[in-house]
A and B are shown apart, each in its own frame.
Chain A
Amino acid sequence: MTDGRPFGGDRSPILDESIRLAFHTVLVLSVYLLFVGHNAPGGGFSGGLVAGAAIFLRFIAGGRAAGALPGLGYEALCGLGLLISSVTGVAALAGGLGFLESWVFEREVPVLGVVKFTGTLPFDIGVYLVVVGLIAAIVDSLGREADTSETHALDPSHDQGGSR
């Protein structure tokens, strides 16, 4: 297995090209879901899941060799997300509000016009990062064996020259 594609077989140009097209679109959709979540269906969790699906698609097509997993490292990604979410709650507390109490930011910003967001947004961004990090971790650990060899680690035939 030299091309890094999991589950064996040759790379499929059709799959490769369609995922190359879809990948960024799906990522943009996930960010859209993240921001729209305050008043409409969406939010950090579903946005994160969609971004995770994009990562998963990349992995199906090219394996880790295709750079499917974020370079930051999924442990750090989870940690960063958890930190942002927790600190949001504590920041509200420090600012004299209740724990995790929402606040509204509304201001005229050059170029963008009026920008308005609430205290739940940083919290949601944290959730988004945790979910993306977690999916990257799952893809990585489930796919680690598939990526290098078709034989499974727990397969007893592994020791008897079962790998290709």
Chain B
Amino acid sequence: MTALLPLSVVLPLIGAALCLLVSRSRVVQRVVSVATLVAGVGMAIAILVTVDADGVTATQVGAWAAPVGISLVADLMAALFLLVSLLTILTVLLFAIGQGVDNRSVFLPCYLVLTAGVAGSFLSGDLFNLFVCFEMMLIASYVLITIGATSTQVRSGMTYVVINLTASTLFVTVVAFVYGATGTLNFADLSQKFPAIPANLQLAIGLALLVMFGVKAAIFPVFGWLPDSYPNAPTAVTAVFAGLLTKVGVYAIIRTQTSLGLTELGDVILVVAGITMVIGVIGAIAQDDIKRILSFHIVSQIGYMIMGLGLFTVAGLAGAVFFVVHQIPGKTVLFLAGGLVEETTGTGTLHRLGGMLRTAPVVAAAFLIPALSLGGVPPFAGFVAKLSLVEAGLAREAWIIVGVALFASILTMVSMTKIWAGVFWGAPDEEPPVPDARGATRFRPPQLMTAATLAMVGLTLAIAVFAGPIYDLAERAAVDLVDPTAYAEAVMGR
């Protein structure tokens, strides 16, 4: 069973290699990519089932024992995130094929390398390997975000690349600090050796890690690059970035902070979380474009996940894990629905849109359900996620952050209402979209795009329906995070 861990990282790479070899035939590329990701989803299910039954599963790459070798570890949190991510990646791939953004032969290989990077980041058992996998994901994302090479994309892509490279430089520096201070980079080993170093050094390293991953996860005050760069990429790319990249950053924050066990940083994290929630959502309200509103929402929602971590309780971490699980498909599907609006009408600007509830009811439904979920309306998954975080906050008597979270939640609904009222309600705009060559004023998006979006809506609904069992898994994942003994035993073989 442990063979599945390296396989789920290397299989997308093999898929990418095959895609490069057959770069002349788009059909073969598509078949290879879809087959690779379907196999990846299958393996992720197998990993989750194994971890659920047997506890933390670990393997050593190259058969060098930990902490010298590279450990690949799947605990419940990693296995859950991996499965949800791969399902999301697969669905967005279908959307991308429907939209035809894979007409450049480099798209699908990069997409698969990104997948390998995401899987590797989740499964990585040491800090340096996490860096490598993170970079693999980011370098593929540099190509994807500028794939059309329009001048807007190149300009905002530059911001994206420069910010991320700066953060990566900081990442390597922190890796060196950690190694210098403790002599190990293996999370399991680290959780045992870290408490022995001086307290000041512990705090410094914990803060440096928080800042560095904070840039990648777009938390306050280093989130400005995200709403600037994401909206300019093709819809499928933005959707997969929105769903995954920042969440991998959040995963890295949770993984590192829990294995370091620095509960002193909790209050700092809570303050940052509160500001991130509010600033993100206020930014969203100020925007007049679907993708820009949604991009600011990503920032706001990151605040909730960080809040769960900042509480440093089992309930808080369980809330954070559940929040990420519902957010990965939830955020993605909103971007896909926004993409459908753009594809149908040719614009994403709110004041130029209207009345799509009548002209495109399916798109309206595909937007409404995840939007309500994001706003935290029962019975959707977002409600469960926010409820669990609020309960965790109340149990810790962290009144302020709970108040801020509820306030930000109301503002989220306000900005969602803004999209809803601007795009779907009201009369169709007085100035109809420019007719195309065939004289049609409305374009019907390809069936596959709609189908992929609806499948994604189905996934978010499934998370709502199975919220009980998933929350149960998240809670058990949180128990392992708060007390990393089981993780350490599985990795170190002690």
- Report which A residues bind B (CB closer than 8 A): 75-76, 78-83, 86-87, 89-90, 93, 97-102
Q: A100 near B17 (CB under 8 angstroms)?
A: no
Partner of B10, one of A90, A98, A101: A90
Cα separation A89 to B11 with both chains bound (whole Å): 11
A107 shortest CB reach to chain B, Å: 23
Residues facing A in B54-97 (CB within 8 A) are 59-63, 72
Q: List 14 A-B contacts (CB under 8 A).
A: A75-B20, A75-B105, A79-B109, A81-B17, A82-B20, A89-B6, A90-B7, A90-B10, A90-B14, A98-B59, A99-B3, A99-B7, A100-B6, A101-B62
Counting CB contacts under 8 A, is B215 at the interface? no
A99 touches B59 (CB 8 A): yes
Contact-residue bracket for chain B: 20 to 34
For residue B395, CB closer than 8 A to chain A, the reply is no
Which chain B residues lie closer than 8 Å to A78 at the CB level?
A: 17, 20
B265 close to chain A: CB less than 8 A: no
Is B18 in contact with chain A by the CB < 8 A criterion?
A: yes
In the complex formed, the residue of A with least CB distance to B113 is A82
Verify B21–A79 contact, CB threshold 8 A.
Answer: yes
User: Complex Cα distance A19/B104, Å?
Assistant: 35
In the complex, the answer to whether A76 meets B10 with C-beta atoms within 8 Å is no
Q: Does B23 contact A (CB under 8 A)?
A: yes
A151-B50 Cα distance, complex, nearest whole Å: 60
Q: What's the Cα separation between A89 and B105 when bound, in Å?
A: 26
Cα distance, A81 to B14, chains bound together (Å): 10
Alpha-carbon separation in the docked complex, A19 to B16 (Å): 35
**Which of A81, A83, A93 has a CB less than 8 Å from the CB of B7?**
A93
- Does B381 count as interface, using CB distance less than 8 angstroms? no
Minimum CB–CB distance from B19 to chain A (whole Å) comes to 7
Closest chain A residue to B154, Cβ basis: A154
CB–CB A97/B21 < 8 A: no
List 8 A-B pairs, minimum CB-CB distance, nearest first. Answer: A79-B20, A98-B63, A99-B6, A83-B17, A82-B17, A79-B21, A101-B63, A75-B23
> How far, in whole Å, are A100 and B61 apart by their CA atoms in the complex?
6
- A89 nearest in chain B by CB position: B10
A58–B20 Cα distance when bound, in Å, is 25
Contact status of A80 and B10, CB under 8 A, knowing A98-B63, A101-B63: no
CB within 8 Å of A: which of B120-137?
Answer: none
CA distance A100 to B70 in the complex (A): 11
Near A by CB (< 8 A), chain B positions 12-37 give: 13-14, 16-21, 23
Find the residue from B7, B19, B20 having the highest chain A CB count within 10 A.
Answer: B20
With known contacts A93-B6, A93-B7, A100-B6, A79–B62 Cβ distance under 8 A: no
Please indicate the chain A residues that have their CB under 8 angstroms from the CB of B63 in the complex: 97-98, 101
A126 CA to B16 CA in the complex, in Å? Answer: 14
Within the assembled complex, what's the spacing in Å between the Cα atoms of A154 and B174? 38
Given A87-B14, A89-B10, A90-B14, A98 and B20 touching (CB < 8 A)? no
Partner of A86, one of B10, B60, B105: B10
Residue of B nearest to A137 (CB): B106
Q: Which residues of B lie under 8 Å from residue A87 when comparing CB positions?
A: 14
Tell me, rounded to whole Å, the shortest Cβ–Cβ distance linking A80 to chain B: 6
Given contacts A79-B21, A82-B16, 11 further A-B contacts (CB under 8 A): A75-B20, A75-B21, A78-B17, A79-B109, A82-B20, A83-B17, A86-B17, A90-B10, A90-B14, A99-B61, A102-B62
